[in-house]
Amino acid sequence: MHCGLRSNVNDFRKCTRSITLDPISEFLYWRMNWHLEHHMFAGVPCYNLKKLHKLVAHDMPRVRTLTGAWREMMEIAQKQKVDPAFEFDTPVPPKKNHNQAVHRTSSESIGDLAPRSLQ
């Protein structure tokens, strides 16, 4: 889920990908196909990651299919043969200017920031 993507960036959307799977494969994979959402909200149980994805999809990059992700990784591998430092820069939606201030305490984890209905 990280293969060929950016490293050393603070935006998880640039260094992790999510993919769509059929329901059986998704269950067997513990719903970790929603890997980007898992990294952004680590406290959300795996069975709620798809619900979380639906809530935050407007701020996320395009979700790949399994074959699309493999195709993307193979193209990246070919580019890395020529330029070993190449990293795919995932296009992400522009950040919205939110006027809400977020108040965090030092005891909060990223999971504490997830919507309560998904914890």
Three-state secondary structure of the chain:
CCCCECCCCCCHHHHCCCEECCHHHHHHCCCCCCHHHHHHCCCCCHHHHHHHHHHHHHHCCCCEEHHHHHHHHHHHHHHHHHCCCCCECCCCCCCCCCCCCCCCCCCCCHHHHCCHHHC
Residue closest to 62 by CA, chosen among 21, 95, 92:
92
Rounded percentage of the chain residues whose pLDDT exceeds 90: 76
Dihedral (C-alpha) 76, 72, 5, 102: value to the nearest 10 degrees?
160
Q: Give the pLDDT score at 101.
A: 47
Q: What local confidence, expressed as pLDDT, does residue 112 receive?
A: 56
Per residue in 30-57, pLDDT tens? 999 999 999 999 999 999 999 999 999 9
Q: Model-level pTM?
A: 0.74
Average pLDDT of span 13-17: 94
**Cβ contacts of 81 within 8 Å, gap of 6 or more:** none
